[in-house]
Amino acid sequence: MMAAAIALTVILIAYSFSAAQPATSPSISILYPKHNALVGKKVNLVVDPATDWTAAPFLQVVVGNTEYPVIDTSAGRHAVQGLSLETGSNTITVRVLAVVPGPDQAKGNNREQEQAKDSAKKKYTQVLSRSITVFNREGSFATTPPQFTAQHFHSREQEGECSGCHRLEAEPKDLKPAKPEEMLCYACHREIPTGRHIHGPTAVWNCLSCHNTEIYPVKYQFISYNPWTVTKTTQSVEPAVFTLSSDVLFKPKSALFVSETSTLQLSKKDRKNKKKLEEFNRAKAAELALKREQQRELFKDFLEFIKLNPADKILVEAHVDSGHFPPAKGKAKGFKNDVQLTAARAKALVKLLKHYGVAGKNRVAAAGMGSTLPKAPNTSKEGRELNNRIEIVVYPPDVKIKNSMKLPVLKDRERVVVTMSYQRGAEVGKLAVTEHLPKGFLYMQGSGVFRGAIKNPQVKGSDLTWQLGNFGTNFQETLSFIVKKGKEVTAPLSPVVNLSFKIGQKDERLTFDPEKPFKPGLTVKETCEKCHMSLLAYPVKHGPAEAGHCTLCHDPHASKYPSWTRNQSWRLCTTCHAEKKTGVHLIAGFVHGVSHPTKKWPDPSRPGKRLTCVSCHSPHSSQTKELMAFDVRNKYESCRYCHAQK
């Protein structure tokens, strides 16, 4: 006996050590709920079904001091349903367990037979555990701590983890199930409608009368948040002309940029002084940088425009007024006439534009126009300033132009601009925009622009698809392209935008149509008013009820209290009206020196029931500012319902 006991002890110690640190012990990956999540009073816990439970095949969940039954993961179970939470912060601990072998197991008895025995007789050893903190916000009037955020299970991202094996989409049979177990929601939420008083729709499992399966991005909730703002606009496509003053860019009668020269000079003696030379170079560099920045500001509108038109051609024209080469004053230094001067200026500007990143084979052309195309007479100073100018013309590559004064009118094309803004959503991957071109429309090759660069689409029939890439949880992007219309086309391009993308592992498709704008789900208040429309019919409304906080006082599924309240009415009311907790209700100015009870008294107006706050006050709306019940016009009329004989 003693030897057997010693042998068993050695086996138990050895197994306990190996079970505590098995070579293949699983890590605990909790899919739902997430750490620091806002949840309801009941929550389901889901662990990753792909976990290898071979070394330790048992799981137990502990909430606070409540230990839930051990489950055997070898049967495929990886969820614990209906965890009850206290109001406020809760700690949920997941324990991975292994069975401590009994004497029969030590002798080599069949393990399957041992597992078939009553699990209550088994002894477990904890292999590892993990704890998370969640916050139950239901029925709480307190402010939620900032570290807790809503993490709905039925988001597209969360469902993507489970939809491969489980049915998560509502079907017609779910609208009116013959049996509760036929209802989609019953599989996970069978613990919700428990209590003496069950709300009508809940009692017959008519969940979809209140919960909407089509809401995006989180199904079954009430008011929904749409992280997307998508717009599509069309613009006419015409050659654009940007006019700059030559006097601002060039020295008089010169093709040199003003910013390329400096008035600072050093004497021969100063040049020998290294320190002074360094100071001079720094000063000159700072002056040049400032002037070039000021110069670049002159081209700001032009540079912004060509970001949308990276395939367009550019013509740089330089003009002067006719008084630049008056006979009496001779010729400008280095130039025989104004045509040579303007040609040099145009070439200098082409070089500058290349410095700004505007380049491309045969894209930019220079033209010295001399004084051949004046905008105004040269007889006044104002006229000469108008004529002494630079004209930068941007035009489509398939269009021919003669000069900036004779530009063609284009009526056969339009630019389409799609703007996509996404805020506070799940991470977006593989975003794509698809445009369906109606008959008669043609995409202009090379006109697609994304992030300032040419982005051509994939073409499949009449569908154009731009693959834009992966994005985060907050972004704003713009895609533009040009379409050419045939002569027979009279109808405008469709305003619809089609997006496709990935949320987690799930493919999503969204269609944005301005004629069918996003319709958020109903608020809690709007949902309740579908059946309880008379509760807020009176002019004076109770603050929480008017604000739509119905579920602060009511459980929409079931409760142990009448009217599906979360607590006794007196306790609910005194949560906010703490001054009434003394058990008396003063009637100052009406009956001096006498107090009115608020609890533990029989209710004369409702025989068999106790007096509570709602015996005299309406919790929703009333005719009086005191929210008196019975549809009375003042608080004194309400007294007759209990004190008629007086």
Tell me the DSSP string of 333-351.
TT-SSHHHHHHHHHHHHHH
- Per-residue pLDDT of 427-436, as tens digits, reads 899 999 999 9
Contact 305, 240 (CB under 8 A): yes
Q: Give whichever of 45-54, 166-175, 456-465, 624-633 has the largest mean pLDDT.
A: 456-465
Under the banding of pLDDT at 50, 70 and 90, the label for residue 90 is very high
Q: Which domains does the chain have, with CATH numbers?
A: 2-138 (2.60.40.10), 152-225+518-522 (no CATH), 235-395 (3.30.1330.60), 413-512 (2.60.40.740), 533-639 (no CATH)
Tokens of 604: 């004369």
Which pLDDT belongs to residue 21? Answer: 44
Tally Cβ neighbours within 10 Å of residue 389: 23
Range of weakest confidence among 297-301, 493-497, 586-590: 586-590
138-144-150 Cα angle (round to 5):
70
Sequence length of the chain is 646
- Rounded distance between C-alpha atoms, residue 134 and residue 86, angstroms: 10
Does the structure show a pLDDT above 60 at 3? no
Contact 566, 555 (CB under 8 A): yes
Which pLDDT belongs to residue 19? Answer: 39
Strands 413-422 and 441-443: unpaired
SS3 sequence, 585-643?
Answer: EECCCCCCCCEEECCCCECCCCCCCECCHHHCECCCEECCCCCECCCCCCHHHHHCCCC
- Rounded distance between C-alpha atoms, residue 604 and residue 138, angstroms: 33
- Rounded distance between C-alpha atoms, residue 86 and residue 76, angstroms: 29
Which pLDDT belongs to residue 328? Answer: 39
Tokens of 569: 């009415």
- Rounded distance between C-alpha atoms, residue 296 and residue 432, angstroms: 35
Residue 211 amino acid letter: H
- Per-residue pLDDT of 511-534, as tens digits, reads 999 888 777 888 899 999 989 989
Which pLDDT belongs to residue 41? Answer: 87
Within 8 A by CB and 6+ apart from 427, the residues are 471, 472, 473, 503, 504
Tally Cβ neighbours within 10 Å of residue 485: 18
Per-residue pLDDT, averaged over 3-16, amounts to 35
Under the banding of pLDDT at 50, 70 and 90, the label for residue 155 is confident
Distance between alpha carbon 298 and the CA centroid of its chain, in Å? 38
Tally Cβ neighbours within 10 Å of residue 434: 18
Range of weakest confidence among 200-209, 275-284, 362-371, 399-408: 275-284
- Rounded distance between C-alpha atoms, residue 293 and residue 288, angstroms: 9
Per-residue pLDDT, averaged over 257-278, amounts to 58
Which pLDDT belongs to residue 329? Answer: 47
String of b and e for 328-364 (b: at least 16 CB within 10 Å)?
eeeebeebeebbbbbbbbbbbbbebbeeeebeeeebb
